[in-house]
A and B are shown apart, each in its own frame.
Chain A
Amino acid sequence: MSIELTVNGRPQRIDAPSHTLLVQALREQLQLTGTHVGCDTAQCGACTVLVDGRAVKSCNVLLAQVAGAKVTTIEGLAQPDGTLHPMQAAFKECHGLQCGFCTPGMVMSAVDLCRRHPQADAHEIREQLEGNICRCTGYQNIVRAVQQAQAATAATA
């Protein structure tokens, strides 16, 4: 099976068996190892990427399902010159990460959260992060980070 899609702005053609998951193609074919696998039941959200701007758990999607789509992974979130996306910058500023393993998925999820609910308050942010598990941070600083990124995005809009 040969699939064409755009990953982090670059067109890609991937030859892989038809049962290949998106996360496998990203990690193994494209060596984009920033997207992590933390479970096998689509619960932890460490593998979350953006597919056409929507947060998707890449362990739960076949590569074939995203043919023609624009996929953004954590490696593609910052500006080409290395300037961090406001969400990445906010996670650093607010200490919204510790071991870093859930972080790529958490950040991608948070980016989509802000797109869908730019005005979400702390309580709504906590509810909206339901699909991502972090074992280190206790979530409080992740909520702070999302709020800071909301504010930064609103200020530049």
Chain B
Amino acid sequence: MGASDFSKLPHIGEAVRRKEDMRFLTGAGQYTDDVVLAHQSHAVFVRSPHAHARIRSIDSAAASAMPGVLRVFTGKDIEGKMNGLPCGWLIHSTDGKPMNEPPHPVLAIGKVRYVGDHVAMVVAETLEQARNAAEAVVVDYEVLTAVVDVRDAAKGGHEALHDAAPDNNCFRWALGDKAQVDAAFARAAHVTKLDLVNNRLVPNAIEPRAAVGAYNRAADEYTLYVANQNPHVERLLMTAFVLSLPEHKVRVIAPDVGGGFGSKIYLYAEDVCLTWAAKQLNRSIKWTADRSEAFLSDAHGRDHVSHAEMAMDKDGKFLALRVHTDANLGAYLSTFASAVPTILYGTLLAGQYTTPQIYVEVDTWFTNTAPVDAYRGAGRPEATYLLERLVSRCGWEMGLGQDEIRRRNFITSFPYQTPVALQYDVGDFPACLNRANELAEVAGFAQRRAASQAKGLLRGLGYSSYIEACGLAPSNVAGALGARAGLFECGEVRVHPTGSVTVFTGSHSHGQGHETTFAQVVAARLGIPVENVDVVHGDTGRVPFGMGTYGSRSISVGGAAIMKALDKIETKAKKIAAHLMEASDADIDFANGEFTVKGTDKKIPFGQVALTAYVPHNYPLDKLEPGLNETAFYDPTNFTYPGGTHICEVEIDPDTGTVRVDRFTAVDDFGTIINPMIVEGQVHGGLVQGIGQALMENCVYDRESGQLLTGSFMDYAMPRAGDFPDFRLDTICTPCTHNPLGTKGCGEAGAIGSPPAVINAVLDALHGSGVTDFDMPASAHRVWQALQAAKSAPRARPAAA
């Protein structure tokens, strides 16, 4: 079935209330920490208090002798018994060499490399006993100097974290034709330059990471319950790369998961330790991070420092873009770490524009901080922030509005091949911009600005027109780019004898509402009620296979796999119907849950065909197997390209520096929308994370000691309800041309599009005060500081929007 026919089916575009809500609203959800197994013991990790140190010795004798302690495991116990944690993407440097890939031991061997690094795991009968014993583990450290800030790492001259990367560089990656770009710059009428910092963030899903490892000696089988976004990937990485276990002996269950935002994609050391130790002790073992531990040990996001230059002709038409980025990888390579500042970043630098030449160079650095990996958007927010800040500045420097500079450079014909390796299939960028202008009531901005001025307040308007590449990914393309796994998805549709359906999907929902959206897809295709379809996910023991949920891929890849399985169901069901109605297969039509014979009034309902498949008394057994149960794998042929325009309007009190988001408008193109209520909820959440980054969130390590200064909700500013106005949202629809649903994905758009809109608005508001540049976050203190600094500096800022 094609995307156009699909979008017209019943239930598609319907705000069906969520099937999963009953359990979450009544306390019946089952998150990992809610799992209690028989004879369960508890683990506590001893973590490094130093950013960089050699371990001289670990004395766990006293701890081991404490009440209830089952075992204290250290790096010595695992050395030689398992491999380190793998990185899923092999990136090559510009000189052709593979990236420096130092070992990532599950428990520190000889050295610790960030505050929070895993030194020992203490297992005891109770959590309290494990905690007490963990405090009694004595570690003798030889403290080394730390490098924390990526700018410091790039300068060099620091103690190496890893022998395999003597200058702390992991790789230097580049994309584009440097000579062509340099030539374009040489003939430019104007060049706009910008330095930016993309601030480091902590994902902070409200459910902290947790895991329970169990072992069944009789069957030699392991079970791992874990708060994770992709249980099959978790199992694959753990069995094939780390523990060398056969996969059929390991079951990974990611039950209800309380938010992920990327941070629960990865195979973490704790997960491996618990699984492995469950066999050593022949006991089930639970570990749940407390929030402080989550701050220290969850993979962080962003942390780029960049320089960007745009060459333009005299009319503000983009000729070439040149970018250098230093990306902080943290102390070790996390699962997707090397893909984020490269494949998911450099390829997005064309944005929505016809810039004919682009060259981007990325240096990646190991530092004594927690590993950095994908966080909602993963590389695409970094690209968007850089490009959209630069584009607004181009507009200001050329004396064009933020609207006009974008309009002059928009891509308007599709498919469009960018100079940075992507082919956009479809879009309508001017339509998004036009609708956003309307919804934001930009025409009344001057009047609102004057009203603010009358109150002594500064008002600014900021634009951002983003594009993202979602629906990861064509496996062959990903493989050519260094992926060590495929990126397809799997779906199984099991029609029961009475016509109800259970769907098994390799996608994983940790808030996205797949149990409802996927049920809508199946109900629409089969013409049955949504409540007759249940969706199972998150269990390698029940779902055939899966690559999981990240990169806004679930509906476009996971949903497409279900569509393929439904095609098979329909094909088989038509044969059964043909037999029952004594017609030929080719004459059977299926619509609205009924099989009909062309040119006759014969019809039978879907339920009768399902029953016949399982009670095959009158059935073509010589030609057709009984049963109605189909599995499909779907590998996409391209990325999907959600895009849109976000407009932010802020009001700033120059006396205090307080920034208030007065209105925020987002017009997005997600292609076909299956459940608009859920899509809108995804946008709301993404916007709050993106605006949160722009206004308040900031992960700070002490630049000398490497201590995490923002290690709790008391120190790290989490966005709260009172920080936002109601959002103004709308969508434009240009259906994706290469998947059967026409969907593009909506999970990350808010977090990708919004940060530059906010900062462009802040800069627009501050332009009269002489502030020419500003890095996130726009907290009151930082804005006030910028205003004070500008008072004593000469004016350099050109006219504003």
Which of A99, A129, A139, A140 is B206 in contact with, Cβ under 8 Å? A99
B15-55 vs A: 1/0 string, CB under 8 Å?
Answer: 00110111111111111011010000000000000000000
Q: Chain A residues with Cβ under 8 A from B713's Cβ?
A: 39, 41, 43-44, 133
Given A39-B713, A100-B256, A135-B261, is A34 in contact with B27 using a C-beta cutoff of 8 Å? yes
Q: How far is the CB of A106 from chain B (nearest CB, A)?
A: 10
Q: Chain A residues with Cβ under 8 A from B510's Cβ? A: 99
A35 touches B (CB below 8 Å):
yes
Segment of A60-68, A89-97, A148-156 engaged in the interface with chain B: A89-97
Whole-angstrom CA separation of A118 from B677 in the bound complex: 26
Given contacts A78-B26, A103-B25, contact A133 B684 (CB under 8 A): no
Among residues 204 to 232 in chain B, which have CB atoms less than 8 Å away from a CB atom of chain A?
204-208
Task: Report whether A98 and B513 are in contact in the complex, using a CB–CB cutoff of 8 Å.
Answer: yes
Beta-carbon nearest neighbor of A90 in chain B: B25
| Chain A residues in 8 Å Cβ range of B34 | 27, 33
Which residue from A33, A91, A127, A138 sits with its C-beta under 8 Å from B25? A91
- The answer to whether B25 and A74 have CB atoms under 8 Å apart is yes
- Whether A92 and B259, one on each chain, are in contact in the complex, defined by CB atoms closer than 8 angstroms, is no
Interface stretch among B107-115, B382-390, B722-730?
A: B722-730
Task: Known contacts A93-B17, A122-B726, A135-B204; decide if A101 and B718 are in contact (CB<8 Å).
Answer: no
Known contacts A98-B681, A100-B511, A135-B259; A140 and B31 CB within 8 A of each other: no
Given known contacts A93-B17, A130-B722, A34 and B26 CB-to-CB distance under 8 angstroms: yes
Cα–Cα distance between A34 and B28 once the two chains are bound (Å): 6
Q: How far is the CA of A92 from the CA of B22 in the complex (A)?
A: 8
Q: Is A126 an interface residue (CB 8 A)?
A: yes
B291 at interface by CB-CB < 8 Å: yes
**A39 cross-chain contacts in B, Cβ below 8 A:** 290-291, 712-713
Decide yes or no whether B720 CB sits under 8 A from chain A.
Answer: yes
Residues from chain B with Cβ under 8 Å of A15 in the complex: none
Nearest chain A CB to B412's CB is how many angstroms away?
A: 32
Query: Are A41 and B712 within 8 A (Cβ)?
Result: yes
B291→A38 contact, CB < 8 A? yes
Partner of B26, one of A46, A75, A136: A75
Q: Which of B271-279, B473-481, B685-693 lies on the face that meets chain A?
A: B685-693
Closest to A107 in B: B25
Q: A137 at interface (Cβ–Cβ under 8 A)?
A: yes
Q: Decide yes or no: A40 and B27 within 8 Å by CB, A99-B510, A101-B258, A126-B722 being known contacts.
A: no
Question: Which residues of the partner chain A approach B205 to less than 8 Å between Cβ atoms?
Answer: 99, 101, 135
Q: Interface digits, B668-701 against A, CB 8 Å rule (1 contact, 0 not)?
A: 0000000001101101111111000000000000
Q: A138 and B687: CB pair below 8 A?
A: yes
Q: Report yes or no: A95 in contact with B681, Cβ–Cβ below 8 A.
A: yes
B423 CB–A CB distance under 8 Å: no
Interchain CB contact under 8 A, B18 and A95: yes
Q: From residue 111 to 138 of chain A, which have CB atoms closer than 8 A to chain B?
A: 122, 125-127, 129-130, 132-138
The secondary structure that dominates the A interface is loop
Report the minimum CB–CB distance from B692 to chain A (whole Å).
9
**Shortest beta-carbon distance from B44 to chain A in Å:** 14
Answer whether residue B343 sits at the interface, using C-beta atoms and an 8 A cutoff: no
Q: Known contacts A44-B713, A133-B720: does B685 contact A98 (CB below 8 Å)?
A: yes
- Let me know if A142 is at the binding interface, CB within 8 A: yes
Q: How far is the CA of A130 from the CA of B310 in the complex (A)?
A: 42
Residues from chain A with Cβ under 8 Å of B750 in the complex: 138
Tell whether A6 is near chain B: CB-to-CB under 8 Å.
no
**Distance between Cα atoms of A57 and B27 in the complex (Å):** 16
* Residues B27 and A135 in contact, CB atoms below 8 Å apart: no
- B548 to A: closest C-beta gap in Å: 15
Indicate which residue in A37, A99, A141 contacts B257 across the interface (CB closer than 8 Å): A99
Q: How far is the CB of B658 from chain A (nearest CB, A)?
A: 15
- The minimal Cβ–Cβ distance linking B389 to chain A, given in whole angstroms, is 23
| Most B C-beta atoms less than 10 A away, residue of A91, A138, A143 | A138
- The answer to the question of A58 belonging to the interface, with a C-beta cut-off of 8 Å to chain B, is no
Instruction: Give the chain A neighbours of B678 by CB distance below 8 A.
Output: 95
Which of B21, B36, B205, B513 counts the most chain A CB atoms within 10 A?
A: B21
Q: Is the Cβ of B21 less than 8 Å from the Cβ of A92?
A: yes
Q: Which chain B residue shows the least CB distance to A84?
A: B25
**B621 part of interface (Cβ distance < 8 Å):** no
Does A32 contact B27, Cβ atoms closer than 8 Å? yes
**Taking the complex as formed, is A55 at the interface, i.e. its CB lies under 8 A from any CB of chain B?**
no
B31–A40 contact, CB under 8 A? Answer: no
Give the A-B contact count at a CB cut-off of 8 A. Answer: 174
Minimum CB distance partner of A93 in chain B: B17
B714 within 8 A of A: yes
A43, B291: Cα distance in complex, Å: 10
Q: Does B292 contact A (CB under 8 A)?
A: yes
CA separation between A87 and B27, bound complex, in Å? Answer: 14
A84 to B713: give the CA distance in the assembly, Å.
Answer: 32
A48 and B17 alpha carbons, distance in the complex (Å)? 25
- Specify which of A88, A99, A127 lies most central, judged by the most chain B CB atoms within 10 Å of its CB: A99
Contact A36 B207 (CB under 8 A): yes
CB contact under 8 A between A99 and B208, given known A88-B26, A129-B720: no
Q: Is the CB of A101 within 8 A of B712?
A: no
Contact A133 B27 (CB under 8 A): no
Interface residue B721 (Cβ < 8 Å from any Cβ of A): yes
State whether the Cβ of B772 lies closer than 8 Å to any Cβ in chain A: no
* Across-interface contacts of A130 in B (CB, < 8 A): 720-722
Closest to A99 in B: B511
Interface pair B722/A129, CB less than 8 Å apart? yes
A88 to B718, CA, bound (A): 25
User: How long is the Cα–Cα vector from A139 to B434 in the complex, in angstroms?
Assistant: 27
In the complex formed, the residue of A with least CB distance to B24 is A100
Tell me which residues across on chain A come within 8 A of B21, comparing CB atoms.
91-92, 97, 100
List B246-302 residues whose CB lies under 8 Å from chain A.
Answer: 256-259, 261, 290-292
A141 to chain B, nearest CB (A): 6
With A and B bound together, what is the CA distance between A97 and B291 in angstroms?
A: 21
Q: A41 to B295, alpha carbons, bound, how many Å?
A: 13
A135 contacts B722, C-beta separation under 8 Å: no
CB of A35 within 8 A of CB of B27, answer yes
| A137 x B259 contact (CB < 8 A) | no
Q: Which A residue's beta carbon lies closest to that of B713?
A: A43
Q: Complex Cα distance A147/B451, Å?
A: 30
Q: Nearest chain B CB to A84's CB is how many angstroms away?
A: 7
Instruction: Given the known inter-chain contacts A38-B208, A84-B25, please indicate yes or no for A140 contacting B726, CB distance below 8 A.
Output: yes
**Cβ-based interface call for A102 (8 A):** yes
Q: How far is the CA of A41 from the CA of B713 in the complex (A)?
A: 7
| B734 at the binding interface (Cβ < 8 Å) | no
Most A CB within 10 A of own CB, among B36, B511, B683: B511
Smallest CB gap from A131: residue in B? B720
B contact residues around A36 at 8 Å (CB): 31, 206-207, 258
**Counting CB contacts under 8 A, is B452 at the interface?**
no
Kindly report which residue of chain A lies nearest to residue B682, judged by CB atoms.
A98
B residues less than 8 Å from A92 (CB atoms): 17-18, 21-22, 25
Add 20 more A-B contacts to A34-B28, A101-B258, A135-B205 (CB < 8 A): A32-B27, A35-B27, A36-B31, A74-B26, A75-B28, A93-B17, A95-B18, A95-B681, A98-B259, A100-B511, A101-B259, A126-B722, A127-B721, A133-B718, A135-B204, A135-B685, A137-B684, A138-B685, A139-B720, A140-B724
Name 27 interchain pairs, CB-CB below 8 A, sorted by A: A32-B27, A33-B30, A33-B31, A33-B34, A37-B33, A37-B208, A38-B206, A41-B712, A44-B206, A44-B718, A75-B28, A92-B17, A92-B22, A92-B25, A98-B511, A101-B259, A127-B721, A127-B722, A132-B721, A133-B206, A133-B713, A137-B681, A138-B683, A140-B684, A140-B726, A141-B681, A142-B721
* Smallest CB-CB A-B distances: 10 pairs: A34-B27, A101-B258, A100-B24, A138-B684, A99-B511, A98-B511, A43-B713, A74-B27, A138-B688, A33-B34
Report which A residues bind B (CB closer than 8 A). Answer: 27, 31-41, 43-44, 46, 73-75, 77-78, 84, 88, 91-93, 95, 97-104, 107, 122, 125-127, 129-130, 132-143
Interface residue ranges, B against A (CB under 8 Å): 17-18, 20-31, 33-34, 36, 204-208, 256-259, 261, 290-292, 510-513, 677-678, 680-681, 683-689, 712-714, 718, 720-722, 724, 726-727, 750
